[in-house]
């Protein structure tokens, strides 16, 4: 941890409003730009995520969860919390991701995380473009993890799983074409 982060932690623990406000202002714009570029979220949602992330940073410092030695800086930690809150937003829209907010000072592999997020965003965009019934077939099979019989009944195909398998194959082929 560098000296600046040590000073910030001390300032947060002692409720130094000047330092806390300065960190808030210095980190807010780069944070918002990162989330808007990475996730394409609107300004209001990004502002809400920043406030929640900053609050989590503050509370974790106050609880003593972020002490020396940290493997990453406080700004990196704040960005990781924000990234994971944004991922929660995608989870609520049925995009399944498996990352959690870190409770330690460990920095995630940012490059790999950004690539993963970009891929997830691309998949979500393609699913929006692919249309019905492909979107439903793929959602029911991969996201809701239903078997062929249940999907066929739900989509009004009776018990004809062979045509459903063919449809799924065609949908994946169509999706791969859009993905390239």
- pTM > 0.85: no
The pLDDT of residue 100 is: 47
Is the preceding omega at residue 150 within 30 degrees of 0, hence cis?
no
Say how many Å lie between the first and final Cα of the chain, rounded: 42
Given phi > 0 = left and psi -120 to 50 = alpha, else beta, which region is 15? left
The pLDDT of residue 92 is: 63
Residue ranges for the chain with pLDDT beneath 70: 1-3, 68-70, 90-113, 179-180
The pLDDT of residue 110 is: 64
**Rounded Cα distance, 147 and 170, in Å:** 18
Cβ-based neighbour number of residue 156 at 10 Å: 7
Task: Report how far apart, in Å, the C-alpha atoms of 162 and of each of 3, 101, 170 are.
Answer: 64, 42, 12
Cβ-based neighbour number of residue 98 at 10 Å: 7
């Amino acid at each position: 941890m560098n000296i600046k982060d040590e000073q910030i932690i001390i300032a947060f623990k002692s409720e130094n409003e000047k330092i806390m406000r300065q960190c808030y202002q210095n980190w807010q714009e780069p944070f918002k730009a990162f989330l808007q570029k990475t996730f394409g979220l609107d300004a209001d949602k990004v502002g809400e995520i920043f406030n929640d992330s900053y609050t989590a940073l503050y509370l974790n410092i106050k609880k003593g969860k972020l002490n020396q030695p940290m493997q990453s800086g406080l700004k990196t930690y704040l960005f990781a919390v924000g990234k994971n809150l944004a991922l929660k937003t995608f989870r609520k829209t049925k995009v399944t991701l498996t990352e959690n907010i870190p409770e330690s000072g460990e920095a995630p592999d940012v490059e790999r995380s950004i690539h993963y997020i970009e891929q997830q965003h691309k998949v979500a965009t393609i699913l929006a473009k692919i249309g019905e019934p492909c979107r439903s077939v793929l959602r029911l099979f991969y996201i809701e993890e239903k078997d062929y019989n249940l999907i066929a009944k739900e989509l009004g195909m009776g018990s004809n799983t062979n045509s459903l398998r063919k449809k799924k194959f065609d949908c994946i082929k169509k999706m791969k074409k859009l993905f390239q």
